[in-house]
């Protein structure tokens, strides 16, 4: 069985993280994120101070979000539960990942629109678009949480001897799904740990996402090396 497509899909996960770090944090300089309490004029001044980097950073981040789908497919290929002829959990994971990818790319589009006409757009409109970008980037947790829970269930239903995925990766997915939820608190708070630049709403969901991707990718790549060509793999592949 040729495992190169699976390996390629799995490596898009770490590449996605690199693109997030390069685009959102380094080029756009959005670590730490700007405060929601900035006045419209202060926000416009901040964007104008790094306009080229901001636009490039959001473009790189948008491309990174596109890699979310092939990474999810790679993980699905390593956690295929025996659901019968209709792999329901696989469909749920891929569908949720596709929605999450589109949400992330949409947030980048909105940030790009906010920076498009800084010179002749009222600052209050710029701030409104900027708010919408953050709401789109952080708050839509349900699709990501459904993805994590479906992934965890698939791992729990697939014996490690067959897939090579340890059970702790399922628990990591469960905790990741729960820790995405506090991001929606930005609807109620502009300052403090539950604002979009706070520990609970931003840093915990974002960094648990990084941990989750690495924590799933490493065992998946290891299982691909050790289980490729096994009788279980051949049976799943229809060989």
pLDDT band at 238 (very low <50, low <70, confident <90, very high): very low
Are 56 and 30 in contact by the 8 Å Cβ rule? The answer is no
User: Which pLDDT score, from 0 to 100, does residue 237 have?
Assistant: 45
* Stated pTM of the model: 0.88
pLDDT tens for residues 50-98?
A: 999 999 999 999 999 999 999 999 999 888 756 566 689 999 999 999 9
Question: Residue 223's closest CA among 155, 144, 139, 160?
Answer: 160
Tens digit of each residue's pLDDT (9 = 90 or more) over 122-173: 999 999 999 999 999 998 899 999 999 999 999 998 877 777 789 999 999 9
What does the alpha-carbon distance between residue 180 and residue 69 come to, in Å, rounded to a whole number?
Answer: 18
Q: What is the pLDDT of residues 222-234, one digit of tens each?
A: 988 886 655 454 4
What does the pLDDT look like over 108-120, one tens digit per residue?
A: 999 999 999 998 9
Euclidean distance between CA atoms 127 and 38, whole angstroms = 9
pLDDT in tens, 26-52: 999 998 999 999 999 999 999 999 999
Cα gap 108→24, rounded to integer Å: 9
Residue 235 has pLDDT above 70, yes or no: no
Rounded Cα–Cα distance for residues 43 and 123 (Å): 8
């Amino acid at each position: 069985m040729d495992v190169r497509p699976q390996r390629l899909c799995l490596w898009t996960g770490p590449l996605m993280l690199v693109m997030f770090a390069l685009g959102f944090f380094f080029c756009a300089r959005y670590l730490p994120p700007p405060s929601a309490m900035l006045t419209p004029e202060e926000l416009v001044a901040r964007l104008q101070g790094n306009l080229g980097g901001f636009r490039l950073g959001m473009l790189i981040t948008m491309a990174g979000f596109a890699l979310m789908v092939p990474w999810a497919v790679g993980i699905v290929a390593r956690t295929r539960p025996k659901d019968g002829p209709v792999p329901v959990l696989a469909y749920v994971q891929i569908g949720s990942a596709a929605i999450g990818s589109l949400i992330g790319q949409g947030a980048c589009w909105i940030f790009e629109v906010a920076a498009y006409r800084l010179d002749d757009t009222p600052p209050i409109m710029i701030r409104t678009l900027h708010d919408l970008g953050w709401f789109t980037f952080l708050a839509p947790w349900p699709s990501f949480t459904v993805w994590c829970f479906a992934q965890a269930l698939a791992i729990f239903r697939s014996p490690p001897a067959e897939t090579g995925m340890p059970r702790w990766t399922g628990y990591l997915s469960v905790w990741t799904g729960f820790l995405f939820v506090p991001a929606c608190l930005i609807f109620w708070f502009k300052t403090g740990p539950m604002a979009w630049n706070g520990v609970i709403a931003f840093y915990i969901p974002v960094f648990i996402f990084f941990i989750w991707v690495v924590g799933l990718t490493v065992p998946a790549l290891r299982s691909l090396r050790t289980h490729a060509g096994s009788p279980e793999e051949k049976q799943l592949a229809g060989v």
